[in-house]
Amino acid sequence: MYHVWPGNNVFFFGGRLVCGPDPRGLLLTTMAISLSSWIFATYVANDIPANSSVVIICSAVLVNLGTVSMTDPGIIPRNDRSSLIDRSMRKTVDINGIEVRLKYCSICNIYRPPRTRHCVVCDNCVERFDHHCPWIGQCIGQRNYRLYIILLLTCLVFFAHIFAFSFQKIHHNMFPDDVGLMELLRNCPETLALTSFSFAAAWFLGCLTCYHLYLVVLNQTAYENFHQLYARSRNPNDEGIFSNIMKFLCVSRPPSRINFRAEVIEHENLFPPSI
């Protein structure tokens, strides 16, 4: 099926891995992490424990990065028989006592399940769509959001670790000899550059992680929060702080709605409507 899939996704290993259409962000992120790790191991870390720790953390980051970027985020099957759907019909579902109207997607020809949005980059409807992340080139949705949070946390630990040891080395080189900035630039430009970059990365990742943990507590997506969808009404998905956190931590990941490795049968409705 992946050969005829109408979205913009790129598939690997016979449809087993589902990636976004633009790999440049993922390659840039991978290079930044790998290069930071190499500079740290070569110019900053003088003892084996520090080297070993950054290798372990870097490996965890790269594994998480690959997992998030190659996981089906929750793509909704399309419907190739749009003529059979009455678009004028009003469809609603009840969520915790609140009536939620289902919206029709004219591209996928389906009534979208609640919290589903159509990603203009990947050209797919994604269940519980959070956002399309340019840094990994993949949508973040129902099936990879928890993995995305783990990725943010591991990246934060990685760059905070690098910053702490790099700053310690700069401090050691400056004192007690009172070495100036220009002397540092001449003696250890790599360490100074790595310290600045890792601080900026850790600051950005820290803010982003706190933002998404805040969304977890509210049971909101980044899309819902950015567009203020619940500014004038109650969020039907909010079941309280404890329930929201437990749902995020304990609810198992649903199976993919689409078998991209399935054989295509001519004249068969390949993408049955979800609703």
Q: Where are the domains of the chain?
A: 2-72+129-250
Among 10-14, 144-148, 242-246, the minimum mean pLDDT is found in: 10-14
147 compared with 91, residue with greater pLDDT? 147
pLDDT of residue 90: 77
User: Is residue 14 helix, strand or coil?
Assistant: coil
Q: Which residue has the tokens 């690997």?
A: 12
The pairing of beta strand 110-111 with beta strand 104-105: antiparallel
pLDDT of residue 13: 86
- Angle separating helix axes 24-39 and 48-69, nearest 10 degrees: 170
User: Is residue 236 helix, strand or coil?
Assistant: coil
- Phi-psi label, residue 270: left if phi above 0, alpha if psi -120 to 50, beta otherwise: alpha
How long is the chain? 275
Smallest Cα–Cα separation from 127: which of 116, 111, 138?
Answer: 116
The DSSP secondary-structure symbol of 234 reads -
With a pLDDT cut of 70, the percent of the chain lying above it is 85
Q: What is the DSSP string of 45-112?
A: --SHHHHHHHHHHHHHHHHHHHHHHTS---BPPP-S-GGGS-TTS--EEEETTEEEEPPEETTTTEEP
pLDDT in tens, 121-144: 999 999 999 999 999 999 999 999
**Annotated catalytic sites, by residue?**
133
Smallest Cα–Cα separation from 78: which of 42, 108, 58?
Answer: 108
Amino acid present at 75:
I
Tokens at residue 77, please?
A: 């099957």
pLDDT in tens, 186-212: 667 888 899 999 999 999 999 999 999
88 compared with 31, residue with greater pLDDT? 31
76 compared with 5, residue with greater pLDDT? 76
